[in-house]
Amino acid sequence: MLIYKILHGAEWAALQADGETAGAPIDIADGFVHFSTAEQVADTIAKHFAGAEHLYLLALDTDILGDALKWEVARDGMRFPHLYARLRLADVVWAKPLPLVAGKHQFPENMA
């Protein structure tokens, strides 16, 4: 199963350069890397990234992340995937830009 992480362009560039990251500032503050499922990611971007430009959507396979990935209740009682480890570039299945068109982020047609 794929799960998704949204990063600002500078965060994505840093991950590519360094090979791993503790995540965005909110991830570091919370002590885990926040992810969303395909069903959750549109709400996540609307709530936390509305109007932001130069975003990237990263896909990661839950099977690769192993026991460091925990499913925990968060927003609206839904279970979200949280990674209690550093996010490694080697674990990213794909990364695609999320262009902002007329104020709305455009997700890839096929997120699989």
- Check which CATH number belongs to the domain holding 98 and give it: 3.20.170.20
Domain that includes residue 35, residue range: 2-102
pLDDT in tens, 48-77: 999 999 999 999 999 999 999 999 999 889
**What is the pTM assigned to this prediction?**
0.95
Domain membership flag for residue 16: yes
Residue 112: its pLDDT value, please?
60
Give dist(CA 37, CA 2) in Å, integer.
7
What's the rounded mean pLDDT across residues 102-106? Answer: 94
Domain membership flag for residue 10: yes
Domain membership flag for residue 31: yes
Tally of structural domains, the chain: 1
Residue 109: its pLDDT value, please?
86
Residue 104: its pLDDT value, please?
94
Domain membership flag for residue 110: no
pLDDT in tens, 85-97: 999 999 999 999 9
